Amino acid sequence: MPKSKNIILKGVAASAGVAIGKAFLLDEDDFCLIYKKIPKNARESEKKRLDDAIEKTRQELKEIYNKINDVLGENYAHITDAHILILDDPTMREDVYKLIEDGTNAEYAIFKVIDKIIRSFESIKDDYFKERKVDVQEVGKKILANLLGKQERNLINLKENSIVVAHTLSPADTVTIREKLIKGFVIDIGGKTSHTAIMAQGLGIPAVVGLKIASSQIRTEDTIILDGNVGEIILNPSEEILEKYQKDYDRQYEQIKELKKLKDLSIETIDKHSALIFANIDNSDEVSTALNNGARGIGLYRTEFMYFNRNAMPSEQEHFEEYAKVVKEMLQYPTTIRTVDLGGDKFTKLGLLKLGQEQNPFLGLRAIRLCLKYPDIFISQLKGILRASAFGKVRLMYPMISGIDELRDANKILQSVKQELRKKNVSFDENMEIGAMIEIPAAAVIMDIIGKEVDFISIGTNDLIQYTLAVDRVNENVANIYDPKHPAVLRLIKQIIDSAHKEKIEVGICGEMAGDPHYTAILLGFGLDEFSVSASQILKIKKVIRSVSFKEVKEISDKILQCGDKESILKIMNTIQV
């Protein structure tokens, strides 16, 4: 059947840029399970293959048990018991053996048996037992991964420029996909500030999200034009359209070349008002790109990466090594390390915390709340950060602070960790600055109080907008009302900045709004000191700052604060000449 040409699908522009490539469809778990008939003389060795995979899974579960035991103690470690019990269930193994004896390959046999067990769990009325199917699923996946010799989603078969198409891609998957031939992401769910979108920006890969059912419409090998600037994809474009986008693609390349010329120039307006531009990073690999784009510091180091795609909590030593690497590479520039912000749309597969099962994860056990509830996780990270602070300028930042008590509780733990290190003669920076992210309206309202007990703040507009407007940042159905231009959001930002300045502390923004050149002039006019943005946006923001007058943007920002509707705000924004 001939392919229909020029099908346009609209979604949410999540990461800027144009990409052209062949669709590479990623299954939910990307296990390619094919039934294979096993000849009679090979069935015993097929059973042995299954036994080996089960044994390997047992070893992995033991390692998980030991690591959890080390970090959090025995009570937590026992959560792996359920997995071992499932693994050792004699009926399960007999059922799989029977299928293999009848000629089914081990992968397909285990898949069939696990599927049957899961379906029987679904018919159970009791919610607790019903949920145990997740454990069975987990064990099944582990055995399958070992049978298939897979650790991660398998992209090694890529041969040409490709665009990954998936129903959903977790932030963890996004950061681990670092294949050069991947030119873009097309995802059914999510909004502009979902963490998957943010990771794509960090990697400098164009992305369109919130496409609803795109992954079921697209076929492998379809040609896709992805326009991450407007949030649109075109399936199987005609020659004419392809040519037009190829030109855009080339223009994009030329623009980047032009922007590079700004790299070493000062960050100041034409009337000499200066600002800082820092980078947001997700791991140490991104530091060199940030520096190459002229970053003068790291304004947000999202440390969740340390917790993704692994079977045990990172150790203090791992924390230390990862952070020290960044700090040493940044030399005299500051590195703002944010303590872990798990929860929301970032849950680990560590299984400890039942994350991902909450009714309202963004209002749930997230970020600093989780760290205060499980201090062992927090302490091991704090030790790593403190030890890294001996090698350069580290700033420590707590996410999701909602009130002064939370800040004090976190600081109390920090003080005790410092005391422990002093006793052991471990060096760290005694003057390390402590900051809070202001991303919950409650914290914004009491900025004067928080401002007296921190050294700096960074406004997390991604969450601040979500919580101020009551709009889920990852829900594509409400993506159109998630808008930084809402007058309440703009006024709140201005109030935070003024209130913090009264306490003589520096204010940054590390949410996506800081990296959007449309808002640069307004934020500068509000008095923002530091823009922390993904590496790909640094020079674009610098270009705007260098082309405006501070006096003028201040006047414009004042006018904007008087507006009650977005339309008038937009009108004034459009008068700014960049």
Q: Does 463 bind ligand PEP (CB under 6 A)?
A: yes
Is 64 or 447 the residue whose CB approaches Mg ion more closely?
A: 447
Contact between residue 150 and residue 57 where contact means Cβ atoms under 8 Å apart: no
| Contact partner, 461, from ligand PEP, Mg ion, none, Cβ < 5-8 Å per class | ligand PEP
Q: Which of 173, 316, 322, 341 binds ligand PEP (CB under 6 A)?
A: 341
Catalytic choice (195, 371, 486, 563): 195
Q: Is residue 530 a contact point for ligand PEP (CB under 6 A)?
A: no
Residue 510 appears among annotated catalytic residues: yes
Please choose, from the candidates 323, 142, 436, the residue with its C-alpha nearest in 3D space to the C-alpha of residue 315: 323
C-beta closer to ligand PEP: residue 183 or 302: 302
**CA 379 to CA 71: how far, in whole Å?**
10
Residue 476 binds which entry of Mg ion, ligand PEP, none, with Cβ cut-offs from 5 to 8 Å by kind? none
- For position 461 contacting ligand PEP by CB under 6 A, the verdict is yes
Answer for which of 184, 435, 460, 508 binds ligand PEP (CB under 6 A) is 460
Residues 6+ apart with CB under 8 A from 485: 566, 569, 570, 573
- Of 28-36, 107-115, 436-444, 555-563, the window that binds Mg ion (rule: CB under 5 A) is 436-444
Which residue is catalytic, options 83, 319, 486, 510? 510
SS3 content of the chain, % helix, strand, coil (to 5): 50, 15, 35
User: Contact region for ligand PEP (CB under 6 A) — 61-69, 101-109, 408-416, 460-468?
Assistant: 460-468
* Helix axis angle, 43-72 to 90-101, nearest 10°: 150
Q: What is the DSSP track for 311-332?
A: SSPPPHHHHHHHHHHHHHHHTT
Residues 275-304 that bind ligand PEP (CB under 6 A): 300, 302
Name 307's Cβ contacts closer than 8 Å, sequence gap at least 6: 313, 314, 340, 342, 348, 350
In the list 187, 211, 233, 510, the residue contacting ligand PEP (rule: CB under 6 A) is 510
Q: Minimum distance between the CB of residue 303 and ligand PEP, rounded to whole angstroms?
A: 10
Closest alpha carbon to 541 in 165, 263, 200, 171: 263
Instruction: Give which of 45, 315, 58, 33 is closest to 150, Cα–Cα.
Output: 33
Residue 341: CB minimum distance to ligand PEP, A: 5
* Residue 463 binds Mg ion, judged by CB under 5 A: yes
Confirm or reject binding of residue 439 to Mg ion (CB under 5 A): yes
Pair 202, 177: CB distance under 8 Å = no
H runs (alpha helix) in 204-315:
214-217, 239-260, 287-292
Please return the burial class of 181, using the count of CB atoms within 10 Å of its CB with bins 0-12, 13-18 and 19+: middle
Of 140 and 343, which CB lies nearer to ligand PEP in the complex structure? Answer: 343
Contact predicate 473/465, CB 8 Å: yes
Nearer to ligand PEP, 65 or 278 (CB): 278
Dist CA 546 CA 541 (whole Å): 9
Active site residue 195: yes
460 binds Mg ion (CB under 5 A): yes
Under rule CB under 6 A, residue 57 binds ligand PEP: no
Nearer to ligand PEP by Cβ, of 249 and 362: the residue is 362
Q: Are strands 433-438 and 394-398 parallel, antiparallel or unpaired?
A: parallel
Beta-bridge mates of residue 163: 23, 184
Tokens of 159: 């041969």
Residue type at 89?
A: D
Q: Residue 300 binds which one of ligand PEP, Mg ion, none, with CB within 5 to 8 A depending on kind?
A: ligand PEP
User: What string marks each residue from 419 to 458 as x (binds ligand PEP by CB under 6 A) or -?
Assistant: --------------------x-------------------
Q: Which is nearer to ligand PEP, 136 or 533 (CB)?
A: 533
Question: Based on CB atoms, which residue is closest to ligand PEP, 218 or 277?
Answer: 277
Residues marked active site are found at: 195, 510
Contact residues for ligand PEP, defined by CB under 6 A: 198, 300, 302, 341, 439, 460-463, 510-511
Contact residues for Mg ion, defined by CB under 5 A: 439, 460, 463
